[in-house]
Amino acid sequence: MKADHYSIGELSRLTGVSVRALRHYEQIGVLPAQRTASGYRVFMPAAVEHVKRIQVLLKNGFTLAQIQPVVSVFGLELETRRSVCGDVIRLYHAKLEELDERIASLVALREQAAARLAFIEQQRRAGGPA
């Protein structure tokens, strides 16, 4: 039987995400929570899927700050999500540009290191100073 809401501990067990991370998600506004009269966080059943989608974005290299503007659409109706889909597409385009820049930087760094290594090995073979 599906619960009408989950405690933070239950949500943690269902998603595999630590309680600490879930608290952080809620505090920065990427995971909606409600409070009981006694102040405890409770999460609607849709929060399980919501957290899983957050995890997918994090595994794809996005930061919480980057995904914050788009995670609010997770609980919306399908038509509304489709209209916001452009934001997610732009997010992925920006991430790909960022990754391309990082890759180019790493390739340049590797080429410099390889050139230095070749020089050092050449000097060693020639018996000169490294």
Residue 67 lies in a domain: no
> 51 and 2 in one domain?
yes
Same domain for 53 and 85, yes or no, is no
54 and 7 assigned to the same domain:
yes
89 CB-near residues (< 8 Å, 6+ apart): none
In sequence order, the 6+-apart residues with CB closer than 8 A to the CB of 95 are 60, 61, 62, 66
Token pair listed for 75: 């609980």
Statement to judge: residues 7 and 51 lie in one domain: yes
Instruction: For the full predicted model, state whether its pTM sits above 0.75.
Output: no
pLDDT digits (tens, 9 = 90+) for 35-61: 888 988 899 998 998 899 899 999 988
Mean pLDDT of 95-121: 95
Range of the domain at 35: 1-61
Instruction: Count up the domains in the chain and report the number.
Output: 2
Letter for the amino acid at 61?
A: G
- Using the 3D structure, point to which of 61, 90, 113 is the last residue of a domain: 61
Same domain for 95 and 54: no
